[in-house]
Amino acid sequence: MQDEVAELARRRGFLWQAFEVYGGAAGFYDYGPLGALLKRRVEAAWREFYLREGFYEVETPTVAPRAVFEASGHLESFSDQAVVCRQCRNFFRVAEREEVGEGQRCPECGGELEDAGEFNLMFQTRIGVPRGGGGRGAGGDEKEERRKSEGYLRPETAQGIFLNFPRLLRFNRGKLPFGAFQIGKAYRNEISPRKSLIRLREFTMAEAEVFVDPAEKEKHPRFAAVKEKRLRLVPSAEGEGKGEEKGEGKREGKGGEEGEGGRGGEEKGEEKSVSVEEAVRSGVVANEFLGYHIARVEEFLVEGLGIPRERLKFRQHRGDEMAHYATDCWDAEFFSERYGWMEIVGVADRGDYDLSAHSLSGGGAGTPNVIEPSYGIDRIVYALLESSFYEEQVGKEKRKVLRFKKEVAPVRAAVLPLLKREELKKKARAVFQELRAAGMFVEYDESGSIGRRYRRQDEIGTPFCVTVDYETLEDDTVTVRERDTMKQVRVVVGEVKNVVKLFRDF
């Protein structure tokens, strides 16, 4: 994060390093009161978006028995190659394709790196007590029992949806296509998490799984609604559509720490701006279902959350960076001033991999395919913080602002008595109670000068300040100040909620 945003996020209660009293642990963050509100609003907007698309929501456990990940391929394939520094003993993740060559040096101390083998990224745990107690010197049978009690924290939320596919299909009266989603925690024991909310060991995912008959992937029933939308696409050189000029497709790696953050910016695939329809017709995007969901992802990020369109693009994975389950994958990447291009959403065509892996075809003719938009909620929160922040000179003062869209702003409005006089405070508290009673999360603040209180609300992205002054006592009007323009209008108290068009929170 730009240092100033990071500092603001800490100071104002958005983000805190987890376990700090015990020295912290890399890859874990606490959301403070404002961060938690912001994150909930992103999740709520996401849930509403996919419910409107007609998807079903489910919620499944975050721990699963070994058998699930044996079948899904995660035990075998969900791993990263690591190197270790001979000097400081720090481990680093080797990005795909990169040689663990002699020339590379430790990014921390400049020491020599050596190969440390592959690490599975799942957290292992135990479910219950294995029969026989699991003590030392266990025989063959007991080993088997212990294996059966092995559990893993899920590395993605998707598996819980796949396992329910036959039941969901019945729930949908046996008809394809349909979609299901869940929002929840997932866990990856990353080798070297170092980048704020970008690479966490515990994080929140919002994943939607669309089940579709493979014969119908070419025709999405609502394709017309998105086909003219223009997208910024970076196809991988190898996946390039027919007759297109090939990009170089080679990445200029920067060393052991290089991960998905920043990787896309160095991709040499040719960037193009095309309509969704052109992208599908020319074969750049494999089918209408995939094209449709890429377009919806963009719509949600830009129109739903207010992430600037010019800081987004979709980049196709090369064959060698694709997850073991994917046949095609496009990442929505956000341009971070600190980390370069970074993935915030992945839209994958998982083919029939998952349902076949779990032998869950649903009893139909063929095995349905899965199209999956998978959102990293924490990364999106990061993108919102970074892209909303700006500073400007107002008179002699610097004003820091988080320009959140109203829909995601943690605090909807602040009610402020102009002066710390009893009669003004009393009236301001009454206005505050009225807005809270109407279901809006608003704040009341009477400490410090009015200018300072405005700055404080600007800093946390509150869209409106409602100020109670002496005129209020005479004619029951208040001043409503808008955050970005700083314009003020006089409004009758009863009309405040209509003027600022706030949202119900409870």
Report the interface residues with Zn ion, using CB under 5 A.
85, 87-88, 106, 108-109, 111
Element (H, E) at 499: helix 496-500
Q: For Zn ion, which is the closer residue by CB, 25 or 109?
A: 109
Q: For Zn ion, which is the closer residue by CB, 89 or 420?
A: 89
Nearest to 458 by CA among 506, 397, 505, 502: 397
| Residue 383 phi, psi dihedral angles, 5° rounding | -60, -40
Report in angstroms the alpha-carbon separations of 126 from 142, 163, 270: 14, 21, 47
Strands 369-376 and 340-351: antiparallel
Q: For Zn ion, which is the closer residue by CB, 111 or 241?
A: 111
* Residue 108 beta carbon to Zn ion: minimum distance, rounded to whole angstroms: 4
Query: What three-state secondary structure class fits 323?
Result: coil
* Residue 18 beta carbon to Zn ion: minimum distance, rounded to whole angstroms: 25
Q: For Zn ion, which is the closer residue by CB, 113 or 355?
A: 113
Are 101 and 112 contacting, i.e. CB atoms less than 8 angstroms apart?
no
Give the position of tokens 């910024």.
232
Gyration radius (Cα) of the chain, Å = 26
How many of the other CB atoms lie within 10 Å of CB of 452?
A: 12
For 157, the token pair is 């939320």
Length of the chain: 506
Are 168 and 56 contacting, i.e. CB atoms less than 8 angstroms apart?
yes
Q: For Zn ion, which is the closer residue by CB, 109 or 215?
A: 109
* Residue 183 beta carbon to Zn ion: minimum distance, rounded to whole angstroms: 38
- C-alpha 347/C-alpha 300 separation (Å) is 13
* Residue 254 beta carbon to Zn ion: minimum distance, rounded to whole angstroms: 16
For 59, the token pair is 């919620």
Element (H, E) at 167: helix 165-171
Q: For Zn ion, which is the closer residue by CB, 109 or 492?
A: 109
* Residue 88 beta carbon to Zn ion: minimum distance, rounded to whole angstroms: 3
Q: For Zn ion, which is the closer residue by CB, 110 or 308?
A: 110
Strands 312-316 and 328-336: antiparallel
* Residue 101 beta carbon to Zn ion: minimum distance, rounded to whole angstroms: 16
- C-alpha 153/C-alpha 186 separation (Å) is 7
* Residue 106 beta carbon to Zn ion: minimum distance, rounded to whole angstroms: 3
Nearest to 1 by CA among 302, 379, 343: 379
* Residue 86 beta carbon to Zn ion: minimum distance, rounded to whole angstroms: 8
Q: For Zn ion, which is the closer residue by CB, 103 or 395?
A: 103
- C-alpha 255/C-alpha 331 separation (Å) is 22
Are 380 and 305 contacting, i.e. CB atoms less than 8 angstroms apart?
yes
Q: For Zn ion, which is the closer residue by CB, 87 or 361?
A: 87
Q: For Zn ion, which is the closer residue by CB, 108 or 213?
A: 108
DSSP at 21: G
* Residue 103 beta carbon to Zn ion: minimum distance, rounded to whole angstroms: 15
Q: What is the DSSP string of 212-269?
A: E-GGGTT--TTGGGTTT-EEEEE--STTPPTTPPPP--------TT--STTTGGG--S
* Residue 349 beta carbon to Zn ion: minimum distance, rounded to whole angstroms: 40
Q: For Zn ion, which is the closer residue by CB, 84 or 326?
A: 84
Residues 6+ apart with CB under 8 A from 150: 65, 66, 124, 126, 127
- C-alpha 285/C-alpha 241 separation (Å) is 8
Query: What three-state secondary structure class fits 57?
Result: strand
* Residue 257 beta carbon to Zn ion: minimum distance, rounded to whole angstroms: 11
Element (H, E) at 125: strand 124-126
* Residue 24 beta carbon to Zn ion: minimum distance, rounded to whole angstroms: 19
Give the position of tokens 């959350």.
305
Q: For Zn ion, which is the closer residue by CB, 51 or 88?
A: 88
